[in-house]
Amino acid sequence: MCVNRKRVVITGLGAVTPIGNTVQEFWSSIRNSVSGVGPISRFDASRVDCRVAAEVKNFEPGRHMDPKEARRMALFTQYAVAAAKMAWADAGLDKGGSAAERTAVILGNGIGGAEIHDEGYKTLQERGPGRMSAMTIPKLISNEAAGNVSIALQAKGFAHTVNTACASATDAIGLALDAIRAGRADVVISGGTEAAVTEFCIGGFCALKALSTKYNDTPTKASRPFDLNRDGFVMGEGSGVLILEEYEHAMRRGARIYAELAGYGATGDAHHLTAPHPEGEGAVRAIRLALQDAGMAVTEVDYVNAHGTSTPLNDPMETKAVKTVFGDHARLLKMSSTKSMTGHLMGAAGAIEAVVCVMALHDQFFPPTINQETPDPACDLDCVPNQGVSGPLRAAISTSLGFGGHNGVLAFRKVAS
């Protein structure tokens, strides 16, 4: 690690999630082991094998944007704009002015406007291309979330979108860290967003045998990372946004600092499109790179927010990877999967899990893995089963491991008060 490079801190947080539409609601639900999984309500799920999802509830776009603006956005964009505005307000920043050109946007997204794709294709088939909405493409394409956030907050630096499947948001935040260190921005609005609870997407993942199907009648039990009876992941949706800021810039304006984003590592498995490397080789390298980037010893890390998808292949592989990296210290740290409560937010997963890590450090609280009723012997680390616990946290890492072999890891550090 270069000792003279810029430090990057988190000064604002925003969230729209299946367990709360503000950071305060979200974090309260995490602390209280609340599940956001329920029966699918977005469409008639009778034709698909998985009939549960972690949907965002009671979201009112009019609280965050003009209703006319909202109608020009797909749901994933609405979520991103709402979360970004909340994060911006939380950071106490002003829009526009000379600082606008030094403010950038980097968001992760996996699928784009999924419901717009479905609506557009239905119109095409039933009424012909001449009856398709002129807003179909602007609402559909995945870069529109970053574009709309840039407009809403008058951020005139670069506005980028990262798509690395389930690692998208983590990679977006990591690239934001790099951009501030490189001097390309003073502030970056970063995170991820996703809204893919549609028949097309659920049906596609069912075809891959990736989703849980055993718990359709008991939805809150469906997402069960590290449990022996897990049978697949649960689709989630929402957005998490963090305001990343160069440390001296934040200090000059007297900003409240939640935590430091200290390191980022990313690798490719070069193994399989949908299955992780069985030994977690790529995950191991990504964790080590993040720790090296942060100048962080393995013994400093007290918490791992695991990718923890509740799939048969991921959870033991990730347990093995953490043991490989941390050695004897793996038995002393805590590793939980908050996907047990939120479901898997796909391209946005790493963003809300970054928010979890930041709040865990801020509140000195280890979030739980709910539904761990029969621990899998192959997942034998301390997964904080069912109830979170308070305790000293110095540093935390968040892992995101996506289809295509994309591995991203962020390392966070508590900032001394």
Q: Which residues are catalytic?
A: 166, 307, 344
Nearest of 114, 88, 133 to residue 201 by alpha carbon: 114
Nearest of 291, 331, 318, 323 to residue 413 by alpha carbon: 291
Alpha-carbon span 318 to 306, nearest angstrom: 8
Assign 3-class secondary structure to the chain.
Answer: CCCCCCCEEEEEEEEEECCECCHHHHHHHHHCCCCCCEECCCCCHHHCCCCEEECCCCCCHHHCCCHHHHHCCCHHHHHHHHHHHHHHHHHCCCCCCHHHHHEEEEEECCCCCHHHHHHHHHHHHHHCHHHCCCCHHHHHCCCHHHHHHHHHHCCCCCEEEECECECHHHHHHHHHHHHHHCCCCCEEEEEEEECCCCHHHHHHHHHCCCECCCCCCCHHHCCCCCECCCCCECEECEEEEEEEEEHHHHHHCCCCCCEEEEEEEEEECCCCCCCCCCCCHHHHHHHHHHHHHHCCCHHHEEEEECCCCCCCCHHHHHHHHHHHHHHHHHHCCEEECCHHHHCECHHHHHHHHHHHHHHHHHHCEECCECCCCCECCCCCCCCCECCCEECCCCEEEEEEEECCCEEEEEEEECCCC
Alpha-carbon span 339 to 360, nearest angstrom: 15
Alpha-carbon span 264 to 178, nearest angstrom: 9
Alpha-carbon span 28 to 230, nearest angstrom: 25
